[in-house]
Structure 1
Amino acid sequence: MRKQLRFRPDGTFTIVQFTDTEFSDPRAADEIKMNETMARILAAEQPDLVVYTGDVIASGGNSDPIGSFRCAAAVPESRGIPWAAVFGNHDAEAPNVTREQLHALQLTYRCNYAKPDPPGLHGAGNFVLTVAGEEREPAAALYFLDSGSYSPLEHSRLGFYDWIRRSQIQWYTEQSHALTTDNGGSPLPSLMFFHIPLPEYHDIWDFSVCHGVKGDPICAPWINTGLFAAMMEMGDVRGVFAGHDHANDFIGTLHGIKLAYGRTTRNAYAAEPFPTGARVIRLTAGTADFETWLHLEDGTVVTEQPVHQPEGRQPFQIRSR
């Protein structure tokens, strides 16, 4: 039986975004604390979907990365909550695990809604889900893309982190076009999830009014392959959600598309105190926009983040994530 996400009878659909959880040692005090935080957030928000936006596990130096991924899966799975994951740069650093293995593993879970990869597509974990409306018709779409890990050309002055490839962008536009056609020519309101932020995240911080915190450099790829332009051309994606930079949680709008960070769920190395938590996203059937807020480890719900006024282009910085 095909799995299908649905809007609730009240017309809402709620997503909890966990990011950079880096499961690695279930005995570690901060991992125990993180599990408790995640449980409280899920109990309070009662989401219709949990999304892990990469670095689900920290595989480097991890003797049991598969076991760590199973710990991550158990958080929503044990509560019967639909979930899906995309991968980041730390998920498959160990020689004994690959992104393909992790993607195949998530597909074995009863509550997991990810899909097998289309043939010939770069990466592992590229799929689209629809959310059905009152008449069981597709009423919204959720895109998930593999943003890769480290630049294959990092010694050629092309940066440290990987980028979303042209085959993935073409796949997205084909899926978007098909859904738009099936919807009578009107684009479905859509969201997109991946790990490494787009280069346009620099633009919204430097040139747009943003809400939230930038405590880390924006570690986007140095190559811009045009995904944002494709989203503008297709006219469906209204929000993009990334992770990767643990002390960033800001959101801003560029040409009608909101670019947002999640709230790091595990505070691995932020220089300043930065409570962990999650970003919550709520879609409403029949509308193109969405609501979003933060839910922190102490139970605080943040609906209004601090305002950042644009200051122009800042000197470029790079920091390993």
Structure 2
Amino acid sequence: MGQHRLAFNEQGTFKIVQLTDLHLQDVQHNALDQRTLELVERIIAIEQPDLIVYTGDIVSSHDAVDAAATEYAFRRALQCAQHAGIPFAVIYGNHDSEKHVTREQLQQIADQYTLYQGESGPAHIHGTGNYVLPIQQADGMEAAALLYFWDSGADAPEQIGGYAWIHSDQIHWYREQSKQYREQYGTVLPALGFMHIPLPEYREAWHSDTTVGGKGEDVCCPDINSGLFAALLDGQDVFAIFAGHDHDNDYCGQWHGIKLAFGRVAGYNTYGNLPRGARVIVLHEGERRLDSWLRLEDDTMMQQTSRLDYAVLDDGLD
């Protein structure tokens, strides 16, 4: 885990670029993968964030020819941040360790980078990459905000079907972390959360009057609701969650006071009708407030101001 200090700047802001669903397969020989990396590098150069968060499916391991190709693609993705001199965090998606490699092997690669800010997390709970990062005050060494990361797994057991869910031991871990920070600082620090597979509550958020952005496919969340959202309501610190996974969804909505948002698919070597890009998130020190926009493949900044049904708009497209 890197030792780079994450802190609000003198203007009291902290910028994050969320990169999701790159789906790299064969970077050395595939033009679409090379195009994805060029997009990522360009977005980083334009936005100059304080932190880059890769929210899963960085590689599409099932489609790669072998482990060497998968590991090389994973390294190339992380090098986009490392070579730009920007700290980064990683969580894994359902396709990252589907074939050829394990999450533990990918974690060993990530640990080699000096600007990597994450960790494998507690060995006694489900997943690889459950951790929390504090963002410090602009003029001090104390935490002013928190970033939580959960490994949302891959597939559910066959008898249940669908996607995995955040397990009870991961929820207990979050409760303990939240409690420790609250006791240490004597207050509830504002926090964001990141995961790959969206929570079931994302379905409800789509129908909220606060929702902006688009929905072009069903929300691919777990069939089992394990209760993380309820724990977040109890903890009162996390006020926004960011996920990936659904390539044709990019909406943000409020549900019981918590913002539930999708990133924007970045990979060209995968399904989806949306122009490729990334989500940008700007936190404000001392506030439970953020600004967010999409940086798109044509270098434009897209502010989402209304709700769009991409499934209707894209009717007839392959």
Q: Same fold (TM over 0.5)?
A: yes
Q: How does 1:21-60 map to 2 (within 5 A)?
A: 21-26=22-27, 27-60=29-62
The Cα of 1:248 is off from its aligned counterpart by 0.5
The Cα of 1:103 is off from its aligned counterpart by 1.7
Aligned to 1:86: 91
Aligned to 1:293: 293
Cα contact 1:208–1:254 (8 A) shared by 2: no
Cα contact 2:4–2:87 (8 A) shared by 1: no
Aligned to 1:181: 183
Q: 1: CA distance between counterparts of 2:184 and 2:132?
A: 15
Aligned to 1:275: 275
Q: 2: CA distance between counterparts of 1:294 and 1:139?
A: 25
Aligned to 2:172: 170
Which letter does structure 2 place at the counterpart of 1:295?
A: R
Q: Does 1:108 find its partner at 2:109?
A: no
1:177-212: CA deviation from partner (whole Å, max 9, x where unpaired): 11111121x211100001000000111113444101
| Secondary structure of the corresponding residue to residue 196 of structure 2 | coil
Aligned to 2:161: 159
The Cα of 1:308 is off from its aligned counterpart by 5.2
The Cα of 1:22 is off from its aligned counterpart by 1.0
Cα contact 1:127–1:145 (8 A) shared by 2: yes
Is the deviation greater in 204-213 or in 193-202?
Answer: 204-213
Q: 2: CA distance between counterparts of 1:16 and 1:306?
A: 22
| Secondary structure of the corresponding residue to residue 14 of structure 1 | strand
Q: 1:119 to 1:269 in 2, by over 3 A?
A: closer
Q: 1: CA distance between counterparts of 2:185 and 2:25?
A: 43
- Unaligned runs of 5+ residues in structure 2 are 310-318
Cα contact 1:20–1:244 (8 A) shared by 2: yes
Q: Does 1:284 find its partner at 2:289?
A: no
Which letter does structure 1 place at the counterpart of 2:128?
A: A
Q: What percentage of aligned pairs have identical amino acids?
A: 44
Cα contact 2:55–2:196 (8 A) shared by 1: yes
Aligned to 2:218: 217
Is the deviation greater in 115-124 or in 162-171?
Answer: 115-124
The Cα of 1:117 is off from its aligned counterpart by 1.5
1:70-115: CA deviation from partner (whole Å, max 9, x where unpaired): 1111110111110011001100111x31011112221121110002
Q: 1: CA distance between counterparts of 2:91 and 2:17?
A: 14
Which letter does structure 1 place at the counterpart of 2:113?
A: Y
1:215-263: CA deviation from partner (whole Å, max 9, x where unpaired): 1111000000000000000000011000001010000001110000001
Q: 2: CA distance between counterparts of 1:206 and 1:159?
A: 25
Alignment counterpart, residue 70 of structure 2, candidates 57, 65, 68: 65
Q: 2: CA distance between counterparts of 1:224 and 1:116?
A: 24
Aligned-residue Cα RMSD (Å) equals 1.4
Q: 1: CA distance between counterparts of 2:168 and 2:22?
A: 28
Which letter does structure 2 place at the counterpart of 1:161?
A: Y
Which letter does structure 2 place at the counterpart of 1:165?
A: H
Cα contact 1:142–1:190 (8 A) shared by 2: yes
Q: 2: CA distance between counterparts of 1:304 and 1:193?
A: 20
The Cα of 1:124 is off from its aligned counterpart by 0.5
Cα contact 1:163–1:223 (8 A) shared by 2: yes
Which letter does structure 2 place at the counterpart of 1:163?
A: W
Alignment counterpart, residue 138 of structure 1, candidates 128, 135, 143: 143
The Cα of 1:3 is off from its aligned counterpart by 3.5
Q: 2: CA distance between counterparts of 1:108 and 1:59?
A: 20
Which letter does structure 2 place at the counterpart of 1:122?
A: H
Q: 2: CA distance between counterparts of 1:104 and 1:232?
A: 34
Q: 2: CA distance between counterparts of 1:254 and 1:220?
A: 16
Q: 2: CA distance between counterparts of 1:48 and 1:303?
A: 20
Cα contact 1:23–1:71 (8 A) shared by 2: no
- Unaligned runs of 5+ residues in structure 1 are 310-321
Q: 2: CA distance between counterparts of 1:104 and 1:169?
A: 25
Which letter does structure 1 place at the counterpart of 2:211?
A: C
Matched residue count: 302
